[in-house]
Amino acid sequence: MSATFSGDDLDASLIQLLDLRFLSTDDPRFQGTLTAVEEGLRRGSHMLRYATEDDFGLPETAFNVCTFWLIEALHATGRSADARALFAEMLERRTASGLLSEDIDPLTGELWGNYPQTYSLVGMINCAGILSKPWSAVR
């Protein structure tokens, strides 16, 4: 899959096909999409939204919410250990007040862009929820 029906460009929002219930985790099309998005847009522990040139040139920073989308997809497809490790790394990137910006430099970890960023914080909260143990398991 690509960012458009007739194109070849990847967009991290394709991972959201799970949340939208457009595809299931065991659908080979989603498995292939997740692999392609990871290979094409993942930079270490961070995800670019896209890697094509826009009005500002080629992206230099990763979009934090996309990394949280990846964490959700990793967990949903049975890669929970990878999801937890990536989530722990993202928590380490927060400021002293526990906040995140919109973007992050994937090489240095420096926070960039709008700050604080609601999308990033919602992504963090959603991932904390799905990665948490149920109350019945901690009694």
Cβ neighbors of 107 (< 8 A, separation 6 or more) are 43, 44
Measure the CA–CA gap between 94 and 89, rounded to whole angstroms: 9
Cβ neighbors of 24 (< 8 A, separation 6 or more) are 18, 30
The amino acid at 130: I
Residue-wise pLDDT tens digits, 33-90: 999 999 999 999 999 999 888 788 788 899 999 999 999 999 999 999 999 999 999 9
Measure the CA–CA gap between 70 and 119, rounded to whole angstroms: 14
* Stated pTM of the model: 0.90
pLDDT of residue 7: 66
Is pLDDT above 60 for 4?
no
